[in-house]
Structure 1
Amino acid sequence: MKRPLKPIAMAISLGVLTACSSSSYIDQAQVKPQLPANWQVSPSSLATNEDWLAVIANEQLLQLLSQALNTNQSLIQLALEVEVQRQAVTVTGANFWPSLSSSLDTGVIGNNNDSSNSSTIGLNLNYELDIWGKLSDADRRTKLTLFAVEANYEQAKDQLIADVAKAYYKVATSAQLLDLFERRTENAKVNFDIIESGYLQGLNSALDVYLTQNEYHSEKSNLASQRSQYKEDIRALERLLGDYPKGALKVQAELPLLPQGISAGVPSELVKNKPSLQAAWYQLLAQDANVAYTQKQRYPSLSLRGSIGSSNAEFGELFNGDNAAWSVFGGLTAPIFNAGRLKAQTEQQKLKLKQQEQQYLDTLFSAFEQVENTLDLDASLQIQYQATLKAQDNATQAETLSFEQYQSGLVSYTTVLDAQTRSFVAQTSVINLKNQIINNRIALHLALGGSLQSAVSQEQTNAQ
């Protein structure tokens, strides 16, 4: 696959295309709103952290990312879409050149009394002059569409990298939760054995036996559910890699705790850095060119036609230069009456341009919304994690102490169950919060228009 145009090359090409345009129908004030100087978020959460990706990009993840970029079916489809649009550029570019066709006819002509052979060979040349810039508008529309498709392809690659990284650590999260469920199930079994033994010795009540037995079977049920979830998460990762979902991939990763904050830049940088916003802008410009093209369909067209040919009763004499004849014509065609069809088509495309303006603004503000939300969440998750970590320590100690006090007859078994539940919830929350921090950090980098491809490539170079 050919590589997409680099940003500088795209900018130069766009400048050339813009220069070729005779007019623009875009409401510039509408599509270029006033942006704030900074993000609406507490500065304390914007601590610069350049190495956060190195913390999560272990060797196995880097290998899986490389595989996904080469084998993911959805990404391959988009790459082929880029190639399709490249061919479309060639098609519209051909309109600037003359078209040359040849013909060779042979047959018999005659009436009831006589007949004779007839053979004709000819070359026909046709060329339309781009006097109004109509062909240029069509070419500009196709090239801008190519830029949009290329930008969408770049965004899709970044999104795939983000999705694979999230899915990878989702599997790691499920693995840690599975280990926690297994330990809780084993612990519930041990507790049940202890309580049942005490009951047989007359030390515990039948109610305690029923409660511990119920707890044990509940944990077995939760364990079975988590095993199923673990397999499901593995299959989701395998599909992102373009593989059959066998559920056999082994993920070897711990959940790292990322430092707080990320360098966020300023809102105006987002418009320049985010491929999806660039794609939306190119689509808007392409529709603008389409309006100009449709408008110029109402203007006269000037074309030149030429032909050279030869005819003879004998096929062998066709190529005799003495029999050749040529002609050259200039033609002007203009629509006169079409029941308002061309005017309506122009108005239709202008209305579509207004729709495209609103779609661009919607895409732009949605991108800002995503950044603001992820920035806020990044700081919030760090606070939640630290608080939950302390809660986990307290709940674990309370779980141990409550069982000891129960064996000493100081508390009821319901107190033990309550302490165990609190401990389990805290431990589960710590694991899930670490995964949420990773997911949100990846989403934040993607939302800010950071190139995950270049970051991953750098990590691969460092690993090598």
Structure 2
Amino acid sequence: MLRHCCEYDLLNHFPPKALTNNYKFFNRTTLKGIALYLSSTIFKKNSRFLVNFALLVILYGCNSNLSKPPELLNQEEIIQSLNKNFQANKQIKVPNWWVSFNDLLLNELVNSTLKNNPDLSIAQSNLRLAKSQEELAARSFYPTLNADSSVSKPFAKQSAYSFGLSMAWETDLLGNKRLNQTIQGMEVATSGEQLADTQLALTAETARAYVSYRQARLNLSNTLGNIKDLNETLQLTQAKQKVGLGNGLDTAQAQLSLTQAQGRIPSLEANLQTQINLLARLTGITADALAVRLKPQQALPRLNQALPTAIPASALNQRPDIRMASARVKIESLKISSVQRSKYPELSLSGSLSWGAQNLEKLFDPVSLAKSWSIALGKALLDGGRNEQQVFAQQEAYAQAVQNYRKTLSTALEELANVVVSLQTINRQQATTRQALNQAKEAYHLSRSSYKVGATDFMSVLQAQQTIDSLENELTNLQGEQTQATISLYKAIGGVW
């Protein structure tokens, strides 16, 4: 009767259908064989063990709150749904998108950032930690073996020697450990995506800082050129005043324009130093060393290939933050299954060998050996509703992960759309500004020639000169904004198109 009772409990509370859905090596015949073996061999040899085990099975069978284990998601599909090129044992690398600008100094600065930036070191450490946790989960499948020895000598009595070995193994009957290993493997993938996202953000920030520095240098160069022209204009007004063809008002206005242009120099130089300090923080190179390396005048880096006219929404799948948010949803989903499985019983096996003797030479004699083993099936019958609350909390974590994924995706779509619009607008503005600059230069030469012969007043020359200065700075800023927008486009699509 007990044999049939044991078989009934095993078959009903470890449902074969639920088990075979995930672990095909379990079936009704296998479970029936386990029950027959336990009832015909183990129980017959040890009546005390029989009573304890039967009581445990009966208590377990009386618990009506158990439900079938939730179905696991297909582990292979989960892993394949992440970045197909991701390999957990290798460091994630962002494509070298910055080399498309064909600027050797930019390449050098970005490489220094990837080598020296502390944020990357932290992300790499997190990846190593995740791999360690995955390895720890894999090692939970193995049994533990312990050894102990002792020597005691009570007063007026002989010494006693003992030595023992004990082994314990917690089985993975319902796959909890395998599920945890899958979760930890996905945590490794998530940490890898976090590293890739950090690399992408830092390389883009370094490129932006470098472009901002070059743009500030060009603005400074334009201002210095304008100061030179204003100085020549001042000399012209002074010369005309000496020969009686001009007046003091023209000279004063020329002097005022020159002084105003010179007053912009300190702010432009301060902006240069700000960008140098930012690059120093990102690259780990000292500001003084960077100032020397950045000193030679260079043009703004320009893309050596045409920008795409249209970008499909599927390009967002290349973004590490989206892949990371997607993986987090799957991880939280698996954690719900893990928490639900914790209410099912756990089967553990243990055994021990111990030797004891009053004479050390006889310690390992066969008569000194004592052997024992046990099978334990344990489950908390009352937990005050903690398991239900854990399931509820994990479901909330899953809901948050879903909303975070939606937020990340919508933010990425907005960022990509804004960058595309910005590039289109800048291209139109550049064409208009170039045309206006050419017209302003022509107007300046005409007004200057007319002023020399007294055919026009000085204000026409001054206004034309100020217009040229303004348009040159505007065109430089537009070129810088175009390069910045191109960098943002690379970042918005994960560094590749």
State the match for 1:398 in structure 2: 443
Say yes or no: does 1:23 pair with 2:72. Answer: yes
CA distance in 2, matches of 1:190, 1:107: 106
Say yes or no: does 1:218 pair with 2:218. Answer: no
Q: With structure 1 as the length reference, what TM-score do the two structures score? A: 0.78
Name which of 115, 133, 137 aligns with 1:70. 115
Q: Which whole-Å deviations, capped at 9, do the CAs of 1:266-295 have from their partners, x for residues lacking one?
A: 223432x22221111111111112221122
Q: How many residues align?
A: 406
- Alpha carbons of 1:232 and 1:249: their partners in 2 closer, same or farther (altered >3 Å)? farther
- Alpha carbons of 1:317 and 1:371: their partners in 2 closer, same or farther (altered >3 Å)? farther
Q: Which whole-Å deviations, capped at 9, do the CAs of 1:105-149 have from their partners, x for residues lacking one?
A: 445556xxx566444433222211122222222212211111011
Aligned partners of 1:192 and 1:209 also within 8 Å: yes
Aligned partners of 1:98 and 1:125 also within 8 Å: yes
Name which of 397, 406, 411 aligns with 1:352. 397
CA distance in 2, matches of 1:387, 1:257: 19
State the match for 2:142 in structure 1: 97
CA distance in 2, matches of 1:340, 1:396: 82
**By how many angstroms is 1:416 displaced?**
3.9
Name which of 309, 312, 321 aligns with 1:266. 312
- Alpha carbons of 1:261 and 1:314: their partners in 2 closer, same or farther (altered >3 Å)? same
Of stretches 224-233 and 256-265 in structure 1, the one that deviates more from structure 2 is: 256-265
Query: Identity of paired residues, percent?
Result: 21
For the residue of structure 1 that corresponds to 2:140, the secondary structure is helix
Aligned partners of 2:226 and 2:261 also within 8 Å: yes
- Alpha carbons of 1:444 and 1:88: their partners in 2 closer, same or farther (altered >3 Å)? same
- Alpha carbons of 1:307 and 1:256: their partners in 2 closer, same or farther (altered >3 Å)? same
State the match for 1:173 in structure 2: 215
Residue type of the partner of 2:263?
S
Say yes or no: does 1:331 pair with 2:376. Answer: yes
For the residue of structure 1 that corresponds to 2:480, the secondary structure is helix
For the residue of structure 1 that corresponds to 2:166, the secondary structure is strand
Aligned partners of 1:238 and 1:249 also within 8 Å: no
Aligned partners of 1:261 and 1:378 also within 8 Å: no
State the match for 1:248 in structure 2: 291
CA distance in 2, matches of 1:408, 1:132: 100
**By how many angstroms is 1:80 displaced?**
2.0
State the match for 2:205 in structure 1: 163
For the residue of structure 1 that corresponds to 2:293, the secondary structure is coil
State the match for 2:53 in structure 1: none
Gaps of 5+ in 2: 1-20, 24-69, 75-80, 82-96
Query: RCO higher in 1 or 2 (8 Å CA, sep ≥ 6)?
Result: 1
CA distance in 2, matches of 1:366, 1:117: 76
Say yes or no: does 1:79 pair with 2:110. Answer: no
For the residue of structure 2 that corresponds to 1:436, the secondary structure is helix
Counting only pairs closer than 5 Å after superposition, residues 194-343 of structure 1 correspond to structure 2 as: 194-199=236-241, 203-246=245-288, 247-251=290-294, 253-255=298-300, 258=303, 261-262=307-308, 264-271=310-317, 273-313=318-358, 318=363, 322-343=367-388
**By how many angstroms is 1:101 displaced?**
2.5
**By how many angstroms is 1:174 displaced?**
1.7
CA distance in 1, matches of 2:283, 2:184: 32
Residue type of the partner of 1:375?
V
- Alpha carbons of 1:133 and 1:388: their partners in 2 closer, same or farther (altered >3 Å)? same
- Alpha carbons of 1:135 and 1:402: their partners in 2 closer, same or farther (altered >3 Å)? same
State the match for 1:146 in structure 2: 188
Decide which structure has the larger Cα Rg and report it. Answer: 2
RMSD of Structure 2 on Structure 1 (CA)? 3.0
**By how many angstroms is 1:382 displaced?**
1.1
For the residue of structure 2 that corresponds to 1:250, the secondary structure is helix
- Alpha carbons of 1:302 and 1:186: their partners in 2 closer, same or farther (altered >3 Å)? same
Gaps of 5+ in 1: 1-17, 26-31, 33-51, 453-464
Residue type of the partner of 2:190?
A
Q: Which whole-Å deviations, capped at 9, do the CAs of 1:370-423 have from their partners, x for residues lacking one?
A: 222212222221111111111221223333444444455555544444333322
